[in-house]
Structure 1
Amino acid sequence: MRVVVILKTAEGGRWIVPQVEELRRRGNEVTVVLPAGPGRLREQLYRAGVPMIDSPFRFRFRPTLATAMQLWSLRRLLRRLRPDVVHYHHYHAALAVRLSLLGLDVVRVFMVPGPLFLESAPIRTAERLLTRLDDLVIAGSTHTADLYRSIGRRGKTLAAVPYGVDTRLFRPPDAATRSAARRRLGLPADVFVAVMVAYVYAPKSLVHRGTGIKGHDVLLAAWRSFARDCPRSRLILVGGGWDTSGEEHRRDLLRRFDVTADPTVDWFAGVIDVRQYYAAADVSVSPSRSENHGAALEAGACGVPSVVSDAGGLPETVNRDSGWVVPTGDVEALAAALRGAHAEFRSGRLARRSPAAREHIQRRFDSGDCARVVADLVETIGGRQPAPRRHLTLTTAL
């Protein structure tokens, strides 16, 4: 079976690699279409030997002749590739594929990496109609699947499958690795360490206007309150701006919260391998205003308990034994959760959450298991019968 995978980025979206590798392992011919230019996703696909083609469409929707010509070029490219299935991720890619394939007999599969676009009322209204052009929607979380069900998507044309996390790559550190990680960061053993791993995105115009969606501002405000009571603590923020505007927003946060003058806060940008920070951490924090599963999967796989907001799919990443859920945007509730985690750290009880965090992620979010379910769905909708397996527990038809 010929499968074309389309994304709007060559940098992010590395979570597609297990899916691509699984489809190829089964003998399918997979080509990935990406925007031109370098990026970590392109590098990873290149190392895996996956064929790639630069997209003629730049994934910017403006009412211009150039946009129409780019969409026409994408249509010509897809007709030349003659796919049995086009599998697309991100909303801009979905719009581009839907328009480019109008009138063509090609199976369309939209996998949704996050619910942000559905949190805009105008987009949600439009999506109620546009999603009819998809043969199958695979929501990246149960939360996102529920949003699609609320706009009329039903039955076997909707499934919920996480993108997941590589639980072999992200795993709990041994004692020596943890000690070395803390030593490199100048963290004594008795210092409570919270980590937040996330790119910084500039505020959007259609949703959560004026605030960054990852909630860095919420955490920094909560940390001020928390650190006054618990001074032997350290907050480590990992991640730079996603783009130029994201980096400008990060610098604004640095100024607004006077981060450089706060000895309890460190912010590291440009990090490639985040595992050393999880190895040093006692708790991970994901205070997003909109999210699929985010960094809580990596943290949990590393055995780090999480404090998450109740936004999107984040509550799915923890249970009562592995973490805390707080109301989105609630500074005091987040500070209180940090105090609770700190009290458990001091008493020695926090470490008991580590096996529960790891087990929860392994059972529900292993990327290899998730990729196999996605491959089953793609092959089935494309008309190829997947090999039978005894267990198929990660997917939910709605």
Structure 2
Amino acid sequence: MAPVQAQPLRIALLGYRSNPHGGGQGIYLYYLSKALVDAGHRVDVISGPPYPRLDPRVGFIPLQSLDLYRNGLRSLRPRHLSSMSNVIEWSSKLTGGFAEPYTFSRRAVKFLRRHGHRYDIIHDNQCLGYGMLELQRMGLPLVTTVHHPITSDLRIALAASNSFRERLLIRRWHSFLGMQARVIRQLHHVVTVSETSRQDIARDFGLQPAGIDLVPIGIDTEQFRPLPEIPRRPQRLMATCSADAPLKGLRYLIRAYAQLLSQWPELELLVVSKLRPGGETEQLIQQLGLAGRIRFVSGISTEQMVKYYAEATIAVVPSVYEGFGLPAGEAMACAVPVVSTDGGALPEVVGDAALQVPAKSADALAAAIDSLLRDPQRREQLARAGRERILEKFSWARCAERMAGYYREVLLRADG
């Protein structure tokens, strides 16, 4: 038999929810699975809904759930009660909880108990449900990616809350974190995407940083690329961030935009996100008198997003915290000058190829944007430097190469 190092690997990538339009975890699964297949490995993505968009060469195994965040509590039918996972999912949602990581891990154990022998390695994408410990006990080689500790999301959401009741609901929704903390401390192979995330995960979950491996993610520089044939709008800002997630800092950009309009009355703001009617972001827009001035787009293709980047004068990343910072990397790959906060791992991504400002400061964002609007030469310099930095330091081919090497190390340790 050939040594394990020489063989293509059979990989199962697990994602409890994997739609790429739903957040960075879906994007990670799409590109990592594609890059691993490009490198000659065989990959199946095993996912709960909302389901992923995948390269046609990647296998897909759906693990059906109630998908209550799309279907609602009234979607429960008598036939669903035959599954304990369904009952747990429904009762948790009924009381304001989020049980999907736990129930997905139960379903994954059920599937892999029968079919785990098909794979050399199981790679969990931040589910951290109790079922992952069961897979480990079953002897299946398991690797877990943690993009960043969701404890950061919890702290930021609590700080942004306006009432005791709201804080109560936030804590209830994040109650799955107790499970994740207990699980991660018992996992043998944890990997993350940035040095900032490594330190934050270690701090929040009581781990040693040296016990967490690092494999930075990549940017699809073939899709996210300059489109010189598309003219830039003379005054358009663009941001890609969840509208009502305090972690993403859109409120600070909106306040900065309100300031900038006094000097730049024709300035546009395009936000790639879905605006929730009646949500905090919409309320802020109304309070600042910006109704009709900010354009929100959602559910768009990657091709359309790249076209929007090509039209943008400046891309803004206002995040309070990022475990990596895909929006910054994608904008830089498109040769758009970037204004970024220093939240989380963003300095690791943008380096000196963007203007950086302190997180949670609308004034600092406004000043940096204003300075770039007044300096076309500086914008051109940052656009070139950003594209060069992404090409040099971040690619999915390199990510897949490093991840496959990590898989092989795990397998060799298991054989030893």
TM-based fold match above 0.5? yes
Using the TM superposition, give the Cα deviation of residue 118 of structure 1 relative to its aligned residue in structure 2, in angstroms. Answer: 4.7
Matches within 5 A, 1:159-308: 159-174=213-228, 176-177=229-230, 179=231, 182=232, 187=233, 191-200=234-243, 202-203=244-245, 212-241=246-275, 248-262=279-293, 265-272=294-301, 273-292=304-323, 293-308=325-340
Match for residue 20 of structure 1 among 30, 33, 36: 33
Deviations 1:229-260 (A, max 9, x none): 2334322222215xxx6984554344344333
Counterpart of 2:19 in 1: which secondary structure?
coil
Matches of 2:152 and 2:261, distance apart in 1: 36
Counterpart code for 1:222: A
Segment drifting more, 14-23 vs 300-309 = 14-23
Using the TM superposition, give the Cα deviation of residue 28 of structure 1 relative to its aligned residue in structure 2, in angstroms. Answer: 4.2
The answer (yes or no) to whether the contact 1:240–1:250 under 8 Å persists in 2 is no
The answer (yes or no) to whether the contact 1:72–1:100 under 8 Å persists in 2 is no
Deviations 1:173-206 (A, max 9, x none): 21x22x2xx5xxxx4xxx3322112232x45xxx
Asked whether 1:319 is paired with 2:330, we answer: no
Percent identity of equivalent pairs: 22
Q: Which residue of 2 aligns with 1:352?
A: 381
Q: Which residue of 1 aligns with 2:121?
A: 85
Counterpart code for 1:48: R
The answer (yes or no) to whether the contact 1:115–1:144 under 8 Å persists in 2 is yes
The answer (yes or no) to whether the contact 2:338–2:382 under 8 Å persists in 1 is no
Match for residue 144 of structure 1 among 197, 205, 220: 197
Q: Which residue of 2 aligns with 1:7?
A: 15
Q: Which residue of 1 aligns with 2:411?
A: 382
Segment drifting more, 366-375 vs 11-20 = 11-20
Asked whether 1:329 is paired with 2:384, we answer: no
Matches of 1:173 and 1:224, distance apart in 2: 29
Matches of 1:123 and 1:73, distance apart in 2: 17
Counterpart of 1:260 in 2: which secondary structure?
coil
Counterpart of 1:162 in 2: which secondary structure?
coil
Using the TM superposition, give the Cα deviation of residue 217 of structure 1 relative to its aligned residue in structure 2, in angstroms. Answer: 1.0
Question: 5+ unaligned residues in a row in structure 2: which ranges?
Answer: 1-8, 21-25, 66-84, 94-98, 156-174
Matches of 1:382 and 1:139, distance apart in 2: 19
Counterpart code for 1:298: E
Check 1:49–1:69 CA distance in 2 against 1; reply closer, same or farther (3 A cut).
Answer: closer
Q: Which residue of 1 aligns with 2:76?
A: none
The answer (yes or no) to whether the contact 2:35–2:396 under 8 Å persists in 1 is no
Match for residue 187 of structure 2 among 134, 146, 149: 134
Match for residue 367 of structure 1 among 391, 396, 399: 396
Matches of 2:319 and 2:326, distance apart in 1: 9
Check 1:22–1:225 CA distance in 2 against 1; reply closer, same or farther (3 A cut).
Answer: closer
Counterpart of 2:374 in 1: which secondary structure?
helix
Q: Which residue of 1 aligns with 2:165?
A: none
Matches of 1:373 and 1:70, distance apart in 2: 27
Q: Which residue of 2 aligns with 1:206?
A: none
Match for residue 212 of structure 2 among 123, 136, 158: 158
Using the TM superposition, give the Cα deviation of residue 72 of structure 1 relative to its aligned residue in structure 2, in angstroms. Answer: 4.5
Q: Which residue of 1 aligns with 2:82?
A: none
Counterpart of 1:325 in 2: which secondary structure?
strand
Matches of 1:126 and 1:118, distance apart in 2: 16
Matches of 2:366 and 2:399, distance apart in 1: 34
Counterpart code for 2:208: R
Counterpart of 1:383 in 2: which secondary structure?
helix
Q: Which residue of 1 aligns with 2:77?
A: none
Deviations 1:315-357 (A, max 9, x none): 222233x212211111111111112212213xx3321221111
Q: Which residue of 2 aligns with 1:48?
A: 57
Using the TM superposition, give the Cα deviation of residue 27 of structure 1 relative to its aligned residue in structure 2, in angstroms. Answer: 5.2
The answer (yes or no) to whether the contact 1:111–1:138 under 8 Å persists in 2 is yes
Check 1:26–1:294 CA distance in 2 against 1; reply closer, same or farther (3 A cut).
Answer: closer
Counterpart of 1:362 in 2: which secondary structure?
helix
Question: 5+ unaligned residues in a row in structure 1: which ranges?
Answer: 204-211, 386-398
Matches of 1:373 and 1:139, distance apart in 2: 12
The answer (yes or no) to whether the contact 1:55–1:74 under 8 Å persists in 2 is no
Counterpart code for 1:327: P
Using the TM superposition, give the Cα deviation of residue 298 of structure 1 relative to its aligned residue in structure 2, in angstroms. Answer: 0.6
Deviations 1:344-377 (A, max 9, x none): 13xx332122111111111222122112211221
